Chain A
Amino acid sequence: MIDTIRRRPLALLAGIVLAQVLLLAFQIKRENGEDHVRLVRYWAVEMLTPVERAGTLAFSKISGVWYGYVSLHDARAENQKLRGEVEQLRLRNQQLESQAAEEQRLGVLQSFREAHPEAAMLAAEVIGASADPTSHTLFINRGEHDHIRRNMGVITPDGVVGKIVEVFPASAQVLLINDKDSGVGALIASTRTHGVVKGSGDPEPHMEYIVNDEKVQVGEAITTSGEDRIFPKDLPIGAVASADPGNPFQVIRIRPAARLDRLEEVLVLLSQQELTPKKTNGGSVAPSAPSSPSSQPKTGALKSAPTANQSAGIKIPTPEPQR
């Protein structure tokens, strides 16, 4: 030990001096504001403060790294879970919006039906369309069980949609008025000029058999004439989109009143009972129904029993209750 000290006198010197410096530090008080702080405490604080500051900074950085990166594997899983929940909520929201829109549409149908208690009609939901792009047909969720028969008219509060062409036990196929095989007896509302609205395969059907001498204005209303024995008289079909001279008849394009490309709910006319024009909740003007509705038996809350249009002598198939 003594040999070690003798070999390293400089280290011993440093130790002795340091010990005396510490001894001084214990005795000396330094002014710190109004207080007197022992120098050793002052030094200790001065020495430790940077260390503590560095430690705090390092801890903060490490914490930042930990919470910002390392623990993000939980955040990733949580993120995926939340994304899933968001997707579910978004889907649910879409469902609710769809339901709300459906409620609104059904409300319009209900209002229209309530506005015409004289006519037997049945609300139906569109469940499908034709697989053939050139064929404008659709399927509804009403069929033979619901007393649906061929050649029944299908309308919306806006206007004519088409007619039933095939009936199945629980569904039916509707031929739209713009299908190339469709034909609806029609007349120009202002002049009462008769013609036929036929489909051409295009979205807009044409009105045929209007001579060139007949003045047809764009925007004129086209209604049913009742001559086809399918639709009652004066149901709105649409409006004239364009009218051009043709050979031998004018070429008149009709803009359908019903939105044929966005049909979701429709009304099936169970009779050819003409409808009395009334202002419906949907804002559309319903067609007239001059005949008395008192003769029509009711079969349920949603539908009235179909009857024959006696004035026109048309036999409408009378559905029989299945249940």
Chain B
Amino acid sequence: MSYMLNPGAESGSNIEVHKYYGGTVLGAALLALVLQAFLHKYGRWSELIDLPLLVTIYFGVSRRNPVTGLFLGAAIGIFQDALSHDPIGMYGIAKTIVGYVASSIGARIDTEHPASRFGLIFLFFHFHQAVLTITQHVLLDLQTPFFSPRLLLDSIVTAGAGVVLFALLDRLRRSS
């Protein structure tokens, strides 16, 4: 089901805001973080998928509340930083912005169709990567590339996995 909504109009009459069972958002976020760290032990193939990013995007576009989206992105990003060797805040900043933007544009475009989801995740992946790279450039003085074939592969894999993951998460919605 596709719909065009006004951002931040959760209380409006023509906005459909998805509700989830209690603890779903928190559980999904924690599970994504744990899996990201856990799977990393079994091979570098897990680096192809950014599960915390997918969770951030999904709940951002589903909740359609920028405040909730940015807080969720900040929390997930900071946890992801905490589980890594990077300074805390690198992923936090990127996912905060992604959560905010996802919540903002989720109300304007179709986020239900798999193709649109694929494209959305693909774009968000590179947007997330751009913010991350800018932060690394500015703060860490690291000359990491903005784009590379590996990043393209990662974005495609993540987008594909995201379509599947989003479909799974759709099942956790409460019926209105």
Judged by a CB distance under 8 angstroms, whether B52 is at the interface is: no
Instruction: Please tell me if the beta carbons of A13 and B139 are within 8 angstroms of each other in the complex.
Output: no
When the two chains form the complex, which single residue of A6, A24, A25 contacts B8, counting CB atoms closer than 8 Å? Answer: A6
Judged by a CB distance under 8 angstroms, whether A20 is at the interface is: yes
Within 8 A of A (CB), among B101-137: 104, 135
When the two chains form the complex, which single residue of A12, A17, A28, A39 contacts B67, counting CB atoms closer than 8 Å? Answer: A12
When the two chains form the complex, which single residue of B67, B92, B96 contacts A6, counting CB atoms closer than 8 Å? Answer: B67
A residues less than 8 Å from B96 (CB atoms) = 13, 16-17, 20
**Chain A at the B interface: mostly helix, strand, loop or mixed?**
helix
Judged by a CB distance under 8 angstroms, whether B161 is at the interface is: no
Judged by a CB distance under 8 angstroms, whether A27 is at the interface is: yes
When the two chains form the complex, which single residue of A6, A9, A27, A30 contacts B88, counting CB atoms closer than 8 Å? Answer: A27
Instruction: Please tell me if the beta carbons of B67 and A24 are within 8 angstroms of each other in the complex.
Output: no
Instruction: Please tell me if the beta carbons of B67 and A5 are within 8 angstroms of each other in the complex.
Output: yes
Interface centre among A5, A16, A23 (most CB of B within 10 A): A16
**Interface stretch (choices B37-45, B70-78, B148-156):** B70-78
Instruction: Please tell me if the beta carbons of B100 and A9 are within 8 angstroms of each other in the complex.
Output: yes
Instruction: Please tell me if the beta carbons of B97 and A28 are within 8 angstroms of each other in the complex.
Output: no
Within 8 A of A (CB), among B80-97: 87-90, 92-93, 96-97
A6 and B135 CA atoms in complex are apart in Å by 27
Instruction: Please tell me if the beta carbons of B74 and A20 are within 8 angstroms of each other in the complex.
Output: yes
B residues less than 8 Å from A6 (CB atoms) = 8, 65, 67
When the two chains form the complex, which single residue of A16, A17, A21, A25 contacts B71, counting CB atoms closer than 8 Å? Answer: A16
Instruction: Please tell me if the beta carbons of A13 and B141 are within 8 angstroms of each other in the complex.
Output: no
Instruction: Please tell me if the beta carbons of B97 and A39 are within 8 angstroms of each other in the complex.
Output: no
A1-34: CB near B (< 8 Å → 1, else 0) gives: 0000110011011001100110111011010000
When the two chains form the complex, which single residue of B74, B100, B139 contacts A28, counting CB atoms closer than 8 Å? Answer: B139
B55-70: CB near A (< 8 Å → 1, else 0) gives: 0000000000111001
When the two chains form the complex, which single residue of A5, A9, A12, A21 contacts B139, counting CB atoms closer than 8 Å? Answer: A21
Instruction: Please tell me if the beta carbons of A13 and B100 are within 8 angstroms of each other in the complex.
Output: yes
Instruction: Please tell me if the beta carbons of B74 and A16 are within 8 angstroms of each other in the complex.
Output: yes
A169 and B8 CA atoms in complex are apart in Å by 123
Chain B contact residues, CB within 8 Å of chain A? 8, 65-67, 70-71, 74, 77-78, 87-90, 92-93, 96-97, 100, 104, 135, 139-141
Besides A9-B8, A9-B104, 12 new A-B residue pairs in contact (Cβ under 8 A), listed by A number = A5-B67, A9-B66, A10-B66, A16-B71, A21-B89, A21-B139, A23-B88, A24-B87, A24-B90, A28-B139, A28-B140, A30-B141
